[in-house]
Amino acid sequence: MPLKTIKKETADTLMLEWVLHVKDYKLTLNKNRCAGCQICSLACPKEAIKVEKCPKLDGEKAGKPVVDVDLAKCNFCGICDILCPYGAIRVNLDGKHLLSVVEKESFPQLIRDIQVDTSKCPIDCVECEEACPLGLIRVSRLTPDVKTVESVSPLEHEKSVPKLKVDIQREYCPCCRVCEVKCPEGTIRVRKFLNGKININTEKCPTGCKDCLDVCPITGALYLSDEDRRVHVNEAFCVYCGACKIVCPVEEALDFKRTRINHTSIRSGTWNKALERLASPVDMTKELKTKGSLKARESVKKRVALKETQNA
Amino acid sequence: MPRKTTQAEGKAKKGKRSSKKSESKPMPKVNEPRIGVFVCQCGSNITSVMDVEELTDYAKTLPNVVHAENMNYPCSFKGQEEIIAAIKSNKLDRVVVAGCSPRLYEPTFQRCVSRAQLNPWLFEMANIREFSSYCHKTTPREATEKAKDTIRMAVAKARLLEPLEPIELPMTKKVMVIGGGIAGINAALDLADMGFKVYMVEKTETIGGYMALLDKTFPTLDCSICIEGPKMVDVGRHPNIEIISFADVLEVEGNVGNFRVKIRKNPRYVIAKNCTGCGECKDACPIEYPNYADMYLGVRKAISVPYDQAVPLIYTINRDYCIECFKCVDACGARQAINFDQKPEAIELNVGAIIVSIGYDMYNPKDLEWTGYGKYDNVFTALEFERLILAAGPTGGKVIRASDGQKPHSIAFIQCVGSRDINMYEYCSSFCCMYTLKHAVMLKEKYRDGIDVYVFFNDMRSNFKGYEEFYNRAQKSGVKFVRVKLENRRVTEEPETKNLTVHGETEDGKPVHAKVEMVVLANAAIPQQTAPELARILNVPLNKDGFFIECQPKIRPIDTDVPGIFLAGACQGLKDIPYSVAQGSAAAAQAASVLRKDSWTVEPLVAKVNEDLCSGCRVCESACGFHAINVEKAGDKQLAKVTEGLCRGCGVCASACPMDAIAMPNYSDRQITAQIGAVMQKETRA
């Protein structure tokens, strides 16, 4: 008998489900978090995800590219979930966010390297909370008995013991570093997990078009220059998701490529292929070589250490 | 029949028939045929309508007839001896028996005349029973005249009969069994034990068929895989059996004794000879997908076997789901059994006989809206239920609802879902009644009073050994049987509790309703999906329901119309396990009776091509319904070539041939024109 499958789509979510008698696989796409960046579709080993440009209406802003998942091809492996920089896709097994590919070490995880040292936080400061383009940061104040108080501005008598707590919803954070730059005291340190290069070719870029800017979820990564009415890039903030590249109407107007992805170290054919598509074959080979030389170095180290112990 | 003269040329004396006058009958000259006519009384079958003496006397007047007599039962031992004696004493060289249909008795009389050192093809039969006495009972005079015509025609043809020699075809002492279900397994084991090489071709990854997926078997409640498993292992280990699993039969050419089979072995991406079946790859694999062997209630890994008892125990990678992380390659290590570059393998076999045992399929009742299947969570098919109650199944033998995972307190079984319905499948699926009784008894014995079991049936079919007793056992165990009409049945659901109500109507029109927590449908069994394709490949016809047609439903239920191809199991007609097993063994015996011969004898009544006349136009090729004639390159010419083992001697090619290049031995134009001439001879009529 055929498998019971469900596909539901609402304005906010897209949901796919395999309802087996003993197991329940569910993939949920949160359309509000999704930037339409194509990373999932590039990484999907079953080519089940399609990202298509949203038709643009005259005089309106460019819409986010639309993501669709093919129920017939999807195998609920969760690789899209792992790689989505915005955490827009969740694959659940029996309602739990447990991914077999992670458990069996057959696919790496992204390293979201975010460090916060709240001891340096000035009282009253909510710069990071306000700066985060995705609204993922929440600053709250702790009372001496470590209870959270809603308001940040402390009561008069508490001024002597300032203590702030910065909560970051890491699973949704694309590591754009806006908070790091905006923080007046250097409390937050963020390392990007996606690295690459982006450049707008001013000769090709049509004047007045700001489609890329419309879809970019990171405020400040792209900006409209007052001088030439064209969009410019601030690479400091760009997360290299590539949503801009999809909507750009002119070929070669936007040079975009990913080079390196920060991830947990793992041996996996699926990852090599994903990296090849997300970055380039050259970058994939580079990573493989690095892994190889690291391994060689380690084995040499071990041998030397062994000899030393023997000599000793 | 088009007028042809080719066969007549240079062969025989022309114009013989027109010179005959019954009164002034000259004795046959030297070298002229000497014909004996034997008129059968056939008890009262013929004599009650016609006067056989008159027929005998009439036969004596016909040209070249030197002896005529009537006797009761020439087919009997005594009758045959009399015929032999008459042949010898009268030096007969042609024999005509006027009696019944040649369909049954021609071979008997052919053997009889050959015992008198006469070529068996110098024998002709005149059917005066079916053609005259049976169908013209009320008009004996006309019947007798018609019988005379029939005899006259037979004699006219007998005069021109030519001695023929049977054709001997070489025999390959190997056999192919298509389909590794319980019927095919038995056929293969029997043949292998007799010493024949058996190729078992299986479409899926493992042999075993549906029986391997069942929990228990009725009426004994034996564990199904426990009794089939050892047989599967025997097949896997038998030195004479080669299993070609995960393979499709693409093409079958040739005829009995020498079938040439083309098979495509699909890639498993695992090297069979290196795979030890240890399962370490499966443990390393991160991907799961719905398992067809669990009726999609459970899952299996992207590299796995469908169930632990699989034979051959070779793992398979499903590339539809595999993400190619190569963790399995690491796990397999030095065994190096995994090869992602494996390609489909083409296999060519030469076999002498073929057994078809491809089994059946199950109808998906989602189109039958009244059942609620696919719409309501707690409606299951019988096979799904089988996997639920199976201890090795996805739920570990717990019967639980899909909606909340709880054990139901009441279950209704609904019979005849799709079957016995003239709009769906008119036939009875034959084993549903029994497996429903089995499920009901198993539930009652497992949960005692903790469960109410209803069976909504129309007719309970529990014939065969031990089945009625099993029905009684079900009734005694407290299963409630509700007889309802097949019409107006309906299942509805309460949306909050996901409980179901079965609505029906009793035979006297009273509505019945039963509130239950789970419904199990006895959905129709249907022909295997691949049956039409295989029927085309083998040129064995299917009946209107899609099951293979046997040669004769009563006395030849194993043979097909194609010599050397036999049927076993549910592909011939739905049947349960004991009867599939019996039919498997029967097919093996039939195949062995063919394979044990050193050559296969074919009647010489096959089309013969005159190569000088054939233009290679291919008209005969498209006319032949048996793929028995093909145009092939021969030297610098295209010539029609007859595959003698496939030709049934129907003569369609001969009449279609625009060049008159095809002749049918003993059905030549000359012989048929002689018969037509004889029947048109008005002056000889009384």
pLDDT tens per residue, range B184-193 = 999 999 999 9
Query: Span B604-619, mean pLDDT?
Result: 91
pLDDT band at A153; cut points 50, 70, 90: low
When CB atoms are compared, the residue of A21, A101, A269 closest to B326 is A269
Neighbours of B610 (CB within 10 A): 15
Q: Looking at the structure, do residues A214 and A248 belong to the same domain, yes or no?
A: yes
- Examine residue A117 and state whether it is found in any structural domain, yes or no: yes
Helices (H), B62-139: 77-90, 102-115
Give domain status of residue A290, yes or no: no
- CB-based burial, A89-100: b 16+ in 10 Å, e otherwise: bbbbbeeeeebb
Q: What is the mean pLDDT of chain A?
A: 87
pLDDT for A69 equals: 94
Distance between CA atoms of residues A249 and B682, nearest Å? 96
Identity at B291, one-letter amino acid code? N
What's the CA gap between B90 and B673, in Å, rounded?
28
Query: Residue B607 — pLDDT band, cuts 50, 70, 90?
Result: very high
Residues of A in contact with B324 (CB under 8 A): 45, 269-270, 273
Q: pLDDT of B215-257, one tens digit each?
A: 999 999 999 999 999 999 999 999 999 999 999 999 998 889 9
Nearest-neighbour CA in chain B from A299: distance (Å): 20
Helix or strand (DSSP H, E) at B474: helix B467-476
Q: What residues contact residue A209 under an 8 Å CB cut-off, 6+ apart?
A: A231, A249, A250
Shortest Cα distance from B327 to chain A (angstroms)? 6
Residue A144 shares a structural domain with residue A187: yes
CB B71 within 8 A of CB B79: yes
- What confidence score (pLDDT) does residue A156 get? 57
Q: How many domains does chain A have?
A: 3
Contact A20 B285 (CB under 8 A): no
Instruction: Flag whether A307 is in a domain.
Output: no
SS3 of residue B455 by DSSP: strand
Are B73 and B42 in contact, with CB atoms under 8 Å apart?
Answer: yes
For residues B367, B372, B378, B383, the Cα torsion angle rounded to the nearest 10 degrees is -40
* DSSP states of B374-427: TTBTTEEEHHHHHHHH-TTSTTTT----TTT-PPPSEEEEEEEESBT-TTSB-S
pLDDT for A63:
84
- What is the pLDDT at residue B602? 85
Report the alpha-carbon distance of residue A57 to residue A44 in Å, rounded: 30
Pairing of strands B518-523, B379-381: parallel
Mean pLDDT, rounded, for A264-280: 90
**Which position has the token pair 């073929």?**
B354
More confident residue, B243 or A202: B243
Are the beta carbons of B374 and A79 separated by less than 8 Å? no
ipTM of the complex: 0.86
The percentage of residues in chain B with a pLDDT greater than 70, rounded to a whole number, is: 95
Residues of chain B neighbouring A21 (CB-CB closer than 8 A): 297-298, 384, 388, 394-395, 400, 402
Percent of chain A with pLDDT over 90: 45
Residue of A nearest to B362 (CA): A1
- Is A303 within the bounds of a domain? no
- Res. B22 pLDDT band, cuts 50 70 90: very low
For residues A202 and A179, membership in a common domain is answered with: no
pLDDT recorded at residue B461? 93
Query: What letter would DSSP give residue A206?
Result: P
How large a percentage of chain B has pLDDT more than 90?
A: 81
Partners of residue B288 in chain A, C-beta under 8 Å = 23, 100
Supply the pTM of this predicted model: 0.83
- What is the distance between the alpha carbons of residues B555 and B194, in angstroms, rounded to a whole number? 24
Residue A222, domain extent: 194-263
| Tokens describing residue B156 | 């006219």
A130 and A92 assigned to the same domain: no
Over residues B605-628, the mean pLDDT reads 91
Residue B347 pairs with which residues in a beta bridge?
Answer: B263
- Cβ atoms of residues A262 and A275 within 8 Å: no
The Cα B418–Cα B429 span in angstroms is 9
pLDDT confidence bin for B492, thresholds 50/70/90: very high
Please say which residue of A81, A103, A125 terminates a domain.
Answer: A103
Q: Decide: helix, strand or coil at residue B37.
A: strand
Give the pLDDT score at B411. Answer: 96
A12: CATH: 3.30.70.20
Reported as a pLDDT band with limits 50, 70 and 90, residue B530 is very high
pLDDT higher than 80, residue B18: no
CA distance B272 to chain A (A): 23
Tell me the percentage of chain A whose pLDDT exceeds 70.
Answer: 93
Do B323 and A45 lie within an 8 Å CB cutoff? yes
* A177 lies in the same domain as A123: yes
Question: Cβ(B410)–Cβ(B451) under 8 Å?
Answer: yes
- A9-67 pLDDT, tens digit per residue, is 999 999 999 988 888 899 999 999 999 998 999 999 999 999 988 887 777 788 889 99
Whether the pLDDT of residue B211 is over 70: the answer is: yes
Q: Reduced to 3 states, what is the DSSP secondary structure of residue B55?
A: helix
Residue B572 has pLDDT above 90, yes or no: yes
With respect to residue A118, please indicate whether it lies within any of the assigned structural domains: yes
Q: A160 and A127 in one domain?
A: yes
Same domain? For A99 and A53 the reply is yes
Q: Which long-range contacts (CB under 8 A, 24 or more apart) does B79-84 make?
A: B80/B108, B80/B109, B80/B112, B80/B115, B83/B36, B83/B38, B83/B109, B83/B112, B83/B113, B83/B116, B84/B112, B84/B113, B84/B115, B84/B116
C-alpha–C-alpha distance, residues B629 and A66, integer Å: 60
Higher pLDDT, B247 or A140: B247
Q: Does the pLDDT at position A280 exceed 90? A: no
Give me the pLDDT at residue A56, please: 78
Same domain? For A50 and A22 the reply is: yes
For residue A285, CA distances in Å to A255, A272, A282, A299, B256 come to: 22, 9, 5, 21, 59
Residue A240 lies in a domain: yes
Which pLDDT belongs to residue A123? 77
Q: Which of B324, B339, B525, B511 is nearest to B415 (CA)?
A: B525
The whole-number average pLDDT for the span B29-44 is 88
For residue A157, pLDDT beyond 60: no
Q: Is B55 a residue whose pLDDT tops 90?
A: yes
Q: Work out the pLDDT band at B6, boundaries 50, 70, 90.
A: very low
DSSP secondary structure string for all residues of B556-606: BSSB-SSTTEEE-GGGTS---HHHHHHHHHHHHHHHHHHHTSSEEEE-S-S
Please answer yes or no on whether B381 and A1 come within 8 Å at the CB atom.
Answer: yes
In the prediction, which pLDDT does A61 show?
A: 82
For residue A245, tell me if it sits in a domain. yes
Q: Which residue of A has its CA nearest to B288?
A: A75
Residue that is last in its domain, among A69, A103, A137: A103
CB neighbourhood size of B653 (10 A): 25
Please give the residue of chain B at the shortest CA–CA distance from A268.
Answer: B325
What gap in Å lies between CA B134 and CA B146, rounded to an integer? 12
What does residue B308 show for φ and ψ, rounded to 5 degrees?
-60, -30
Residue B217 in contact with residue B577, Cβ under 8 Å?
yes
Q: What is the DSSP letter of B338?
A: B
Which residue in chain A is spatially nearest to B289 when comparing CA positions? A75
Query: What DSSP designation does A172 have?
Result: G
Q: What number of other Cβ atoms are within 10 A of residue B431's Cβ?
A: 22
- pLDDT for the residue B214: 95
> What digits encode the pLDDT tens for the residues B432-459?
999 999 999 999 999 988 899 999 999 9
Higher-confidence position of A149 and A163: A163
* 3-class DSSP assignment, residue B519: strand
- Test A75 with B320 for CB contact under 8 angstroms: yes
**Same domain, residue pair A84 and A57:** yes
Best CA proximity match to A290, nearest among A270, A312, A261: A261
Task: Write a three-state SS string for B301-337.
Answer: ECEECCCCCCCCCCCEECCCCCCCCCHHHHHHHHHCC
Distance, in Å, from the CA atom of B599 to the CA atom of B256, rounded to the nearest integer, reads 10
Q: Do residues A187 and A198 both lie within one domain?
A: no
| Dihedral angle, C-alpha A259, A261, A267, A269, nearest 10 ° | -60
On the question of pLDDT at B7 being above 70, the answer is no
Partners of A18 on chain B (C-beta within 8 Å) are 290
Same structural domain, A187 and A219: no
A250 in the same domain as A229: yes
Confidence band, pLDDT 50/70/90 cuts, at residue A144: low
Measured between CB atoms, does B286 come within 8 Å of chain A? yes
Q: Reply yes or no on whether the pLDDT at B26 is more than 60.
A: no
Residues of B in contact with A263 (CB under 8 A): none
| A273 inside domain | no
Cα–Cα distance measured from residue B98 to residue B45, given in angstroms and rounded to the nearest whole number: 13
The rounded mean pLDDT for chain B is 91
Contacts of A270 in chain B (CB under 8 A): 323-325
Question: How much is the average pLDDT of B379-387?
Answer: 94
Instruction: Please name each of the domains of chain B with its CATH number.
Output: 6-165 (3.40.50), 167-266+344-359+528-598 (3.50.50.60), 268-343 (no CATH), 364-526 (3.50.50.60), 606-663 (3.30.70.3270)
Single residue among A156, A191, A226 that ends a domain in this structure: A191
User: Where would I find the H helices in B221-361?
Assistant: 224-237, 280-284, 327-332
Say which of A22, A79, A100 has its CB closest to residue B298: A22
Rounded CA separation B227/A214 (Å): 68
Contacts of A101 in chain B (CB under 8 A): 286-287, 323, 325
Residues 330 to 359 of B: which have CB under 8 A from any A CB? 330
Given a cut of 50, is residue A80 above it in pLDDT? yes
* DSSP-based three-state secondary structure for B518: strand
Query: CB distance from B526 to chain A under 8 Å?
Result: no
